[in-house]
Amino acid sequence: MTDLFAPHIPEDVEKRRPLADRLRPQQLSDVTGQAHLTGPDGALTRMIESGSLGSMIFWGPPGTGKTTVARLLSGEADLSFEQISAIFSGVADLKKVFEAARARRMNGRQTLLFVDEIHRFNRAQQDSFLPVMEDGTIILVGATTENPSFELNAALLSRARVLTFKSHDTDSLTELLKRAEAAEGRALPLDEAARETLVLMADGDGRAILTLAEEIWRAARDGEIMGPEALLSVVQRRAPIYDKGQDGHYNLISALHKSVRGSDPDAALYYLARMFDAGEDPLYLGRRLVRMASEDIGLADPQALVVANAAKDAYDYLGSPEGELALAEACVYLATAPKSNGVYTAYKAAMRAAKEHGSLLPPKHILNAPTKLMREEGYSEGYRYDHDQPDAFSGQDYFPTEMGRQKFYKPPDRGFERDINKRLAWWDRLRRERSGG
């Protein structure tokens, strides 16, 4: 949609605008990579056709078109467009925006308020949107890179539809490059392999690939065609999208943990490398490997915990980059070890029992009796010292009398726990024989 009243911008000034800004789509159908939202049958296309927009939360990675789509929506729905950022705005700014929207509404015009980084508003600030959303003063479109379920108030979410923006795939990034070349009237000076590398470097971010393309055109010499190595030296590299306190961090550590649990050393190494490459604290990864050893391997391979702990200590001793190899070694060891959550499951069951049964006294025969009164109360009476019994096993009951005997640990028949299973079965047989059961 062309704005007839927009000021004329001289051509030389226009060309100095960033490429990503110059190539912003002019209508929803021009948006790439979000066909599920802006395509012929997309959710937003259907809303526009129905003539009714509701408040929305746009959730997705950077560079996927959230701001652009919000602007296009306001134009296609003939709404006044207001934009604020939660990073730079406070309560006073919100009040001004709401007052202006109320004034427009009195004149029969509705306002689409686009709030970038909406998750950065605190709970009270988020609550301030509720009354103006409910009475129709504004149509809220909030943009966030973080999971709305964790970052936004339930009350706000209940009044807004969450629409997910996807990272650009190879096809949509390639399409953006073609548009850039058409706008510039020249091809990127890259061979096919370098072009593929550029698409990978963009990491699903449309804005990033256009910014990188601009850097290449600025740096290229006359007649030069760059290969992958030349490309990397020119643009250096773009840091992976990764926030150590947010979704990127939790997604990758979840993928690493599940790859180890799933006995896939190659996938586990890949996610470990991704986190190293993104600047994750290696000691954090070392601690997570120790956790995986105890949770997912346990006594199926008692050495797993030893190896994981040793790798953590090795990194602590060597630092980067030498120490990272020790963590990679532990990662592979854990992924290829036999798996068991027997101890983990038993511990949780024991913890539940401890909470449910309260402060029950252990049976008196296993309590020490250092005083005369305690001996008179029956403490230690009847205790049989296991080392003095046949097979060094007395078969006594150790649970509180009120509970009866419990079974928490049920090891699978894998790895070292096969041997443990044999011992447990043997002790169970001796216990039954000696109790007359």
Q: CATH number for the domain including 378?
A: 1.10.3710
Residue with tokens 């029969």: 108
Residue 317 resides in a domain = yes
pLDDT digits (tens, 9 = 90+) for 103-147: 999 998 999 999 999 999 998 899 999 999 999 999 999 999 888
Q: Clarify whether residues 46 and 141 are in a common domain.
A: yes
Q: For residues 144 and 247, is the Cβ–Cβ distance under 8 A?
A: no
Distance CA 326, CA 334 (A): 12
Q: CATH number for the domain including 122?
A: 3.40.50.300
Q: For residues 396 and 384, is the Cβ–Cβ distance under 8 A?
A: yes
pTM value surpassing 0.85: no
Query: Does residue 156 or residue 21 have the better pLDDT?
Result: 156
Residue 17 resides in a domain = no
pLDDT digits (tens, 9 = 90+) for 376-410: 888 999 899 999 999 999 988 889 988 888 999 99
Residue 304 resides in a domain = yes
Q: CATH number for the domain including 231?
A: 1.10.8
Q: Clarify whether residues 215 and 280 are in a common domain.
A: no
The identity of residue 200, as a single letter, is: L
Q: Clarify whether residues 287 and 312 are in a common domain.
A: yes
Residue 7 resides in a domain = no
- The 8-class DSSP code of residue 220 comes to P
Q: For residues 197 and 6, is the Cβ–Cβ distance under 8 A?
A: no
Q: How many domains does the chain have?
A: 4
Distance CA 110, CA 54 (A): 12
What is the pLDDT, as a whole number, of residue 5?
46
Residue 13 resides in a domain = no
The identity of residue 159, as a single letter, is: R
Q: Clarify whether residues 367 and 401 are in a common domain.
A: yes
Residue 420 resides in a domain = yes
- The token pair that represents 192 in the structure block: 């096919």
Q: Clarify whether residues 156 and 99 are in a common domain.
A: yes
Which of 309, 336, 363 is the last residue before a domain boundary? 336
Q: Clarify whether residues 90 and 131 are in a common domain.
A: yes
pLDDT digits (tens, 9 = 90+) for 85-97: 998 888 889 999 9
Is the pLDDT at 238 greater than 70? The verdict is no
Q: Clarify whether residues 230 and 268 are in a common domain.
A: no
In the structure, what pLDDT confidence band is assigned to residue 243 with cuts at 50, 70 and 90?
Answer: low
What is the pLDDT, as a whole number, of residue 1?
42
In the structure, what pLDDT confidence band is assigned to residue 334 with cuts at 50, 70 and 90?
Answer: very high
In the structure, what pLDDT confidence band is assigned to residue 10 with cuts at 50, 70 and 90?
Answer: low
How does 122-145 read in b/e, with b if 16+ C-beta sit within 10 Å?
eeebbeebeebbeeebbbbbbbbb
Q: Clarify whether residues 53 and 159 are in a common domain.
A: yes
- The token pair that represents 333 in the structure block: 């060891």
User: Exposed, middle or buried by CB within 10 Å (0-12, 13-18, 19+), for 164?
Assistant: middle
Q: Clarify whether residues 71 and 148 are in a common domain.
A: yes
Q: Between the CA of residue 79 and those of 108, 141, 254, what are the distances in Å? A: 10, 12, 42
In the structure, what pLDDT confidence band is assigned to residue 7 with cuts at 50, 70 and 90?
Answer: low
* 51-80: average pLDDT: 92
Residue 284 resides in a domain = yes
Of the listed ranges 267-271, 311-315, 316-320, the one predicted with least confidence:
316-320
Residue 341 resides in a domain = no
pLDDT digits (tens, 9 = 90+) for 150-169: 889 999 999 999 999 998 98
Q: Clarify whether residues 155 and 209 are in a common domain.
A: no
Across all residues in the chain, what is the average pLDDT?
89
SS3 79: coil
Q: Clarify whether residues 260 and 363 are in a common domain.
A: no
Q: Clarify whether residues 382 and 324 are in a common domain.
A: no
Which of 282, 302, 336 is the last residue before a domain boundary? 336
pLDDT digits (tens, 9 = 90+) for 373-385: 888 888 999 899 9
Q: Is 263 left (phi over 0), alpha (psi -120 to 50) or beta?
A: left
DSSP code per residue over 168-207:
P-HHHHHHHHHHHHHHHTS--SB-HHHHHHHHHHTTT-HH
Q: What are phi and psi of 191, to 5 degrees?
A: -80, 175
Query: Does residue 424 or residue 245 have the better pLDDT?
Result: 424
What is the pLDDT, as a whole number, of residue 4?
46
* Domain ranges, residue 229: 170-235
